[in-house]
Structure 1
Amino acid sequence: MKRIIEVFTAGCPLCNPVVELVKSTACGSCDIITHNLTETAAGNPALRRARLLGVQTLPAVAVNGALLACCQGGGITKEALEAAGIGKGAPVTAEPAA
């Protein structure tokens, strides 16, 4: 049985090396499908597939319909932004010692 490898990409310089890595690592038992998520056509099947698998950041790789553990990061959240101080006003700086 063939292994189905799906690579989700934005077609950018940060994603392209991952596409190449998957291609160079794959063997004859692997079928690679590259989904470019920059296409904005209504009902984009690549976007629907990415949402179905839970893709939140790019690039991402799924094997046989399962998103790899390294690709399961939750992406950017409001909580993470706030934890980094975003939206909390100007940073307070200490006055230099005299």
Structure 2
Amino acid sequence: MAAKRTIEIFSTGCDVCAELVAQVRQAACDSCEVSVHAMQDADVAARAKALSIRALPAVVIDGTLADCCTGRGVDLAVLRNLGLGRA
């Protein structure tokens, strides 16, 4: 069995974040473990800062902040290139 790919979504809980969560969960495969982190939690906010997250929502795959999340907007094609949806 392939190792699980860790997909972390940093979210404020807004409608934009909820839409991204739904899109990522739909694109994820059985080898993707998707978790959503609420930025209202101080520990989550500290982790986001350590990952250089500056805009939300943001996606981290296997510990790497997706390039599409370093600026404006999220690009699912970029996430798929990082391994989203692949075993």
- Shorter chain as normaliser: what TM range? 0.7 to 0.9
1:33-72 to structure 2, matched below 5 A, reads: 33-39=35-41, 44-72=42-70
Q: Match of 2:47, SS? A: helix
C-alpha distance in structure 2 between counterparts of 1:56 and 1:6, whole Å: 15
- Moved >4 Å (runs of 4+): none
- Counterpart AA for 1:57: A
Contact 1:9 1:15 survives alignment (8 Å): yes
Structure 2: where are the runs of 5+ without partners?
Answer: 73-87
Larger radius of gyration: 1
Contact in 2 for aligned 1:11/1:38 (Cα 8 Å) = no
- Cα root mean square deviation, aligned: 1.3
Bigger relative contact order, structure 1 or 2, given CA contacts below 8 A and separation 6+? 2
Specify every segment of 5 or more residues in structure 1 that has no aligned partner in the other structure, as ranges. 75-98
Tell me what 1:93 maps to.
none
TM-score (norm 1): 0.67
SS in 2 for 1:15: helix
C-alpha separation between the residues in 2 aligned to 1:23 and 1:46? 20
Identity of aligned residues (%): 39
